[in-house]
Amino acid sequence: MKDYTCLFCEDIYTDQDLASLKEIGEKYHLEAELFVCPDCYDDLRRLPLEEQLKALLLGSEYEWEEE
Ligand SMILES: [Zn+2]
């Protein structure tokens, strides 16, 4: 079994967690070793594309703007 750590909040998800997320239709982001959990992915998707890329580069260092 493989664990994935969210790039932003550092929550840990397993293969099995991801499989059940997929079942209930939750969206997350997984690319090579890069994992973003559904909560953070939701926030990420609200950002303009340029900010999304910046956030992905900075990971947990990224400063989210408070609304
Ligand atoms: Zn997260």
Rg (CA), the chain: 12
The residue count of the chain comes to: 67
pLDDT for the residue 5: 95
pLDDT for the residue 1: 79
> Residue 66 falls within a domain, yes or no?
no
> Residue 45 falls within a domain, yes or no?
yes
Query: Residues 31, 32, 33, CA angle at the centre, nearest 5°?
Result: 100
> Residue 67 falls within a domain, yes or no?
no
Instruction: Say how far apart CA 12 and CA 23 lie, in whole Å.
Output: 18
pLDDT for the residue 49: 96
The domain containing residue 13 runs over which residues?
Answer: 3-61
Instruction: Say how far apart CA 15 and CA 51 lie, in whole Å.
Output: 28
Structurally, how many domains does the chain consist of? 1
CA of 10 to the centre of ligand 1 (A): 6
Q: Which residues have their alpha-adjacent CB atom under 5 A from ion ligand 1?
A: 6, 8-9, 37, 40
Say whether pLDDT at 62 is over 80. Answer: yes
Q: Give residue-wise pLDDT tens across range 18-61.
A: 999 999 999 999 987 789 999 999 999 999 999 999 999 999 99
> Residue 48 falls within a domain, yes or no?
yes
pTM here is 0.85
Pick the closest to residue 35 from 9, 1, 64 (CA basis): 9
